[in-house]
Structure 1
Amino acid sequence: MPNHLVNEKSLYLLQHANNPVDWYPWGEDAFAKAKAEDKPILVSIGYSSCHWCHVMEHESFENDYIAGLMNEHFVCIKVDREERPDVDQIYMEAVQMIAQHGGWPLNAFCLPDGRPFFGGTYFPPEDRSNGMVPWPQVLIRVIDFYKKNRNQLEENADSIVKNLFASNTPVEPSNATIDRTTLEQAAQELARRHDDEFGGFGQAPKFPPSMALNFLLQARASLLESAKKAPELKEVSQRIDEVINTTLKGMAHGGMFDQIGGGFARYSVDRYWLIPHFEKMLYDNGLLLDIYSKAWTTYKNPLYRAIAEETAIWALREMRNPDGTFYSAYDADSAGEEGKFYVWTPKEIKDVLGEETGDKFCRVYNITDTGNFEHGYSNPALTESDMEIRKSLKPARDKLYEHRKNRVWPGLDKKQLTSWNSLMIRGLAEAGFALDRKDLFDVARDTADFIWNNLRTESNRLMAVYYNEAKLNAYLDDYAFYAEALLSLIAYVEFYHPGESGKYLERCESVAHMIIEHFKDENGAGFFFTSHDHEDLIARKKEWWDNATPSGNASLLHVFSSLYYLTAKPEYQEAFSALRKAYTGLLARNPYGVPHTLSALMAEMNGIEVIKAKDVDNLDQLPAILRELPWKRRFTLVTDAENQPAGYQRCIGTLCLQPVSEPGEMFQESL
């Protein structure tokens, strides 16, 4: 018999709708029941493409005995963390305080009002002699403690909530000045943490460091400029180039990139980028599309162009909703096994390609008889760095892709999130311009328009999720990422749709005003994750550190600085300066936890550029000129303002150069 999740839209919740556990969705009904029956609450949080979430469901939540324990003693709430990142944020931080680690599935035990007192992540159903307490024992111990030590649990819960509020305050702002030297030194220190053999930072598991690479890409430009006065810095810039290129090549050649179908998996379980955790997330691919496109513009390595193009094609082919937005994720599992959709044996390859081509493919892509994955299977990863060999095998890859389509596909989570769609909009806009692919840019533009027209209320507020209709009030990330996406459209839209930059600038300003009005902390630094009129939770949180996606506050540094140079309105400079000051303490303590912040500060230090064009008839010449330059945050606006002189005027930060009639004349020193 279905439980209370049966009418939900979330795929993750629906996957649990037929569990014997009497799951409730997050809402007043569950809390009212807990208070009326004086039962503790179990808040269990996960997402549809989470492998260990599936494992715990199968082992414990589908077990009648365990479900009986849960139903008798607890009110059980299931939460999709992608729908409710506000709830996930609170209970993840609480469990990290309690257990000193976090992850998903996340299981938090709470008092009837939602205050957490205990929690953990995955628990096995029985004793496996690995030190992990079995889930039934956890349940029994928690209910026993709840009945016998209620006062102590109340004290524990109060302490946790107090710490949740305390963590909103960033590290005390430092008096240190954030100048060009400070940021360049941060880049050098980050480079020292680089894995020079395989790329990336640290050991396994390795996550794609998109935001760190974006910062380094801008730091190299700063170092090259500084090297004009201090020649020794040119060698430092070359070191930054090595770090960027080693990492981009390592990810592109490895098995984290789907060599057959395009797109990136979430992370590599090893140091070598060989074997991924096979789930594919929209946000990762948006961020990686962005950095590979910028790297192509900067380094002109054809591998980067190919990876950007294949990632964009994958997103359009396999992730796009016909309505105009993008789905969230593909599961790691298919047919009950992780990675089964993606791995091969030499025989399977040769059955599709024939002996000669199949043998070559196996050699180039590391498909062996012993396998590099489980059960003798291999996950394709390039062993050759020669682009001509890669190009020559494209027909083979296409043939294998067509064959692979007949396998059992991983599950697709069709929820459409404003925040993650915005990251893909940004990636597609940058790719469209960098690759000279108007079709990709137009998809970015169409998706941004869809959000504006379908996930915005009459009161001009954004919504967070779309399932054929919009639902849930938007969070800070939704607003901030969408504003950043609009900035990428503003940068290039005049080249494809003349006269539209003003429209997207107006929208971006509208979103920025909503953020300031509804998310700003009037009594402290920064912006809250939820709006002032959001549902009351046990804590109203702020996020300062970057995670798999940028923090909303870091994203706003990009938004406010760009809007200031686009509009010259002091309110944006004031907002940027206040946020920058809030981050000084964090930068002094751990700059590597805030790469998107470093990127925003470096972009502003390098001088955000605005090219103003008035009464020109050769704008079509400008894109090719810009593509010959290393990537930099530049905007092109067509204007008819009376006080704007005719021709092209390049403004770098607050310095505007003399207008010229030919676009190439603006960059004669750079070209």
Structure 2
Amino acid sequence: MPNRLADATSPYLLQHADNPVDWFQWGDDAFAEARRRDVPILLSVGYAACHWCHVMAHESFEDERTAELMNQGFVNVKVDREERPDVDAVHMEATQAMTGQGGWPMTVFLTPGGAPFYCGTYFPRAHFQRLLLGVSQAWEQEREGVLEQGQRVVEALSGSRSIPAGPAPDADVLAAAVRGLSEGYDEANGGYGDAPKFPPSMLLEFLLRHHARTGAEQALHMAAGTARAMARGGMYDQIGGGFARYSVDAEWVVPHFEKMLYDNALLLRAYTHLWRSTGDGTARRVALETAEWMVSDLLTEQGGFASALDADSEGEEGRFYVWTPDRLRDVLGEDDGAWAAELFGVTDAGTFEHGSSVLQLRADPDDAQRYADVRAALLAARAERVPPARDDKIVAAWNGLAIAALAEAGALFERADLVHHARRAARLLVDVHHRGGRLVRTSRDGVAGAGAGVLEDYADVAEGLLALHAVTGEPEWVAVAGKLLETVLTRFPDGEGGFYDTADDAEALFSRPQDPTDNVTPSGRFAAAGALLGYAALTGSSRHREAAEAALSVAGVLAEKAPRFAGWGLAVAEARLAGPLEIAVVGPQGDPAAEALHRTALMAVNPGAVVTRGNGHDDGGIGLLRDRPLIGGAPAAYVCQGFTCRLPVTTPGELDEQLSGHAAVD
């Protein structure tokens, strides 16, 4: 049996390379083989850090009898959802339409022509074996009905699914969205909804921007309360830093232990911005610990950031992270062990499984030095355990999110090392993922994968590069962002002001994916709107601003019906209403006066403020720097809206006054 997964770039596919299942990678060969054999496709979709994917793999895909049934009756195709989000998206839509729910592993049976006719998620081995026999029997004996079912699904999902559009959200719509979020806010525990509870990363940014623009205390209350609750609970790794994917309960106690790059990048940025708005010490600590965890645990040799850490180690979910009172005493001794157990909520009964507990930090320690010593000792002891596996592929979109977060955290917390890592990741994306304005979705070990970039890749990478430019002043990043956004404007439009999630020359699936709503990351449409708006503010391009405003046309409708799924669009709408503010700082690199002005600009809490940095002589192709000279030979800052600028200032105090809104535009 040929091993068709052995040369995969996806660690998830490589995990299955030695299965007794005759796996194919997604592509024409698999469908040609299904037509030749006249059998259905069995499509299995998951990702490397997925706990239940591992369970189904051990139970079924490593089982000889199950593999025999799969090989006899089907052409079996394994897909990494992170490598092929387009394949995942259309089949997840079919799964949700057929079953009312979705998740991973996703199991989909397709006709040789690619039409899904039966879908599900995780199946225990006995159930899965019965299902395989049943589907094979139906294919042989009820072929016409199976084909008709597949055709109905394709027709239902191929029709127009556009959301009614309107104008970009105005101040009243944004205020109403905050009121709607208030009605669903968990006052006792922070966040929204019941278990499982996911970090509302994009909503945090919206709420912080809304408070910055309006002063609305409820918006800040929800953002700060949610951030505090997540940081206190078990979803946050109290000794290692970084956030798990979600909490299985409403109180943020027990995490689903996967640690994803995208969650941590988004939350790093949110906690950094919360600190910028409030000076909150916990927000600063969590932001820095999260950034340091990303660097220590996800940084690859090539300078990019790996996509995830697994939930499991040694075959058990969460084993790497949990503690008992006895284990604490073994590491710390009797007195410190008892103190740590009380501080971190480690009980004899346990908060997780088998009497073990996830560490929480519900109150600040009464002895900061003792806490630091205990935390260091526990971290060192934990390092002796078998760590979770790492999915070390580089996902372009998620690295774009990481670049933005690390660049801003590095600048605001005066950590040049974090800016350095943001720059290295950007260089990897430009050198390996980018060719002539086009992106590939993933790479591994410095080798580009085969999958084409999707809308979120272009948008999030552009956003990251613009944030990196704001911090470094390096014009290269704006030039590359412009090329990526040109591809967005020419290859992704839907003809109605929005965008498809795949380019017009991407592989044709049974439907072209298009989802304007946020999920665990910003929707591609809203991410594109944000990058387009920022680029317009830097360059003065009305074309890019108009495209951003058109892309926001569904945000108002979502704000009324489902604001929890439009957080990034609402955050971009806040920036649009605020201008966004454009701040150009000019002066020699390293000049103390110029650096002080630059830091003041970056500390601006005005929603979506756009910052650029020049030398006062050469605009570097950045429109906002054109005709922005030094003042009397001294560094200066120009505060503008729509390229209409206030009088330039030369001191941080004067700049801060303008940024605070005390000076009117001339």
Q: TM-score, normalised by structure 1?
A: 0.92
Per the TM alignment, residue 627 of structure 1 is displaced from its structure 2 partner at its CA by 6.4
Aligned residues: 641
Aligned: 1:451 with 2:429: yes
1:73 is matched with which residue?
73
Q: 1:222 aligns with which of 209, 213, 216?
A: 213
Deviations along 1:280-321, one digit per CA (max 9) or x if unpaired, are: 111111001010110111111111111011111111111101
Q: 1:298-447, aligned counterparts within 5 Å?
A: 298-385=277-364, 389=367, 392-447=370-425
Aligned equivalents of 2:454 and 2:367: distance in 1?
Answer: 46
SS at match of 1:414: strand
The answer (yes or no) to whether the contact 2:582–2:643 under 8 Å persists in 1 is: no
Aligned equivalents of 1:654 and 1:605: distance in 2?
Answer: 15
The answer (yes or no) to whether the contact 2:258–2:309 under 8 Å persists in 1 is: yes
Matched-pair identity in %: 40
Deviations along 1:192-222, one digit per CA (max 9) or x if unpaired, are: 2111111110111111111011100011122
Per the TM alignment, residue 381 of structure 1 is displaced from its structure 2 partner at its CA by 0.4
Per the TM alignment, residue 76 of structure 1 is displaced from its structure 2 partner at its CA by 0.9
Q: 1:142-291, aligned counterparts within 5 Å?
A: 142-166=135-159, 169-174=161-166, 178-224=169-215, 237-291=216-270
The answer (yes or no) to whether the contact 1:476–1:519 under 8 Å persists in 2 is: yes
Aligned equivalents of 2:155 and 2:367: distance in 1?
Answer: 59
SS at match of 2:528: helix
Deviations along 1:71-109, one digit per CA (max 9) or x if unpaired, are: 111111111111111110111001111111100010011
Q: 1:622 aligns with which of 582, 591, 597?
A: 597
Per the TM alignment, residue 369 of structure 1 is displaced from its structure 2 partner at its CA by 1.7
The answer (yes or no) to whether the contact 1:296–1:434 under 8 Å persists in 2 is: no
Aligned: 1:519 with 2:492: yes
Between 77-86 and 578-587, report the one with greater CA deviation. Answer: 578-587
The answer (yes or no) to whether the contact 2:42–2:108 under 8 Å persists in 1 is: yes
1:532 is matched with which residue?
504
SS at match of 2:109: strand
Runs of at least 5 residues in structure 1 that lack an aligned partner in the other structure: 127-133, 225-236, 495-499
Pick closer, same or farther for the CA change 1:563–1:9 going to 2, 3 Å. Answer: closer
Per the TM alignment, residue 668 of structure 1 is displaced from its structure 2 partner at its CA by 1.9
SS at match of 1:88: helix
1:662 is matched with which residue?
651
The answer (yes or no) to whether the contact 2:213–2:607 under 8 Å persists in 1 is: no
Letter in 2 for 1:443: H
Runs of at least 5 residues in structure 2 that lack an aligned partner in the other structure: 620-625
SS at match of 1:527: coil
Aligned: 1:461 with 2:414: no
The answer (yes or no) to whether the contact 2:598–2:613 under 8 Å persists in 1 is: no
1:507 is matched with which residue?
480
Deviations along 1:416-436, one digit per CA (max 9) or x if unpaired, are: 111111111111112112212
The answer (yes or no) to whether the contact 2:538–2:612 under 8 Å persists in 1 is: no
Per the TM alignment, residue 165 of structure 1 is displaced from its structure 2 partner at its CA by 2.6
Per the TM alignment, residue 384 of structure 1 is displaced from its structure 2 partner at its CA by 1.4
The answer (yes or no) to whether the contact 2:497–2:547 under 8 Å persists in 1 is: no
Pick closer, same or farther for the CA change 1:376–1:636 going to 2, 3 Å. Answer: same
The answer (yes or no) to whether the contact 2:169–2:570 under 8 Å persists in 1 is: no
2:638 is matched with which residue?
649
Aligned equivalents of 1:252 and 1:64: distance in 2?
Answer: 45
Per the TM alignment, residue 653 of structure 1 is displaced from its structure 2 partner at its CA by 4.5
2:59 is matched with which residue?
59
Pick closer, same or farther for the CA change 1:426–1:399 going to 2, 3 Å. Answer: same
The answer (yes or no) to whether the contact 2:411–2:599 under 8 Å persists in 1 is: no
Per the TM alignment, residue 451 of structure 1 is displaced from its structure 2 partner at its CA by 0.9
Aligned: 1:491 with 2:470: yes
Aligned equivalents of 2:431 and 2:10: distance in 1?
Answer: 22
Letter in 2 for 1:336: G
The answer (yes or no) to whether the contact 1:3–1:21 under 8 Å persists in 2 is: no
1:227 is matched with which residue?
none
The answer (yes or no) to whether the contact 1:264–1:311 under 8 Å persists in 2 is: yes
Aligned equivalents of 1:643 and 1:325: distance in 2?
Answer: 36
1:233 is matched with which residue?
none
Pick closer, same or farther for the CA change 1:430–1:478 going to 2, 3 Å. Answer: same
SS at match of 1:76: strand
Pick closer, same or farther for the CA change 1:247–1:306 going to 2, 3 Å. Answer: same
Aligned equivalents of 2:432 and 2:392: distance in 1?
Answer: 16
The answer (yes or no) to whether the contact 2:574–2:608 under 8 Å persists in 1 is: no
Aligned equivalents of 1:162 and 1:389: distance in 2?
Answer: 64
2:537 is matched with which residue?
565
SS at match of 2:627: coil
Letter in 2 for 1:77: V
Aligned: 1:577 with 2:549: yes
Per the TM alignment, residue 278 of structure 1 is displaced from its structure 2 partner at its CA by 0.5
RMSD: 1.9
Aligned: 1:470 with 2:459: no
Deviations along 1:24-50, one digit per CA (max 9) or x if unpaired, are: 111222111100111011111011111
Letter in 1 for 2:416: K
SS at match of 2:176: helix
Pick closer, same or farther for the CA change 1:629–1:32 going to 2, 3 Å. Answer: closer
Per the TM alignment, residue 632 of structure 1 is displaced from its structure 2 partner at its CA by 3.7
Per the TM alignment, residue 2 of structure 1 is displaced from its structure 2 partner at its CA by 6.5
Per the TM alignment, residue 258 of structure 1 is displaced from its structure 2 partner at its CA by 0.7
SS at match of 1:65: helix
SS at match of 2:441: strand
Aligned equivalents of 1:615 and 1:336: distance in 2?
Answer: 56
Pick closer, same or farther for the CA change 1:433–1:632 going to 2, 3 Å. Answer: farther
1:231 is matched with which residue?
none
Letter in 2 for 1:509: G
Per the TM alignment, residue 391 of structure 1 is displaced from its structure 2 partner at its CA by 5.7
Pick closer, same or farther for the CA change 1:389–1:604 going to 2, 3 Å. Answer: farther
Aligned equivalents of 2:603 and 2:34: distance in 1?
Answer: 63
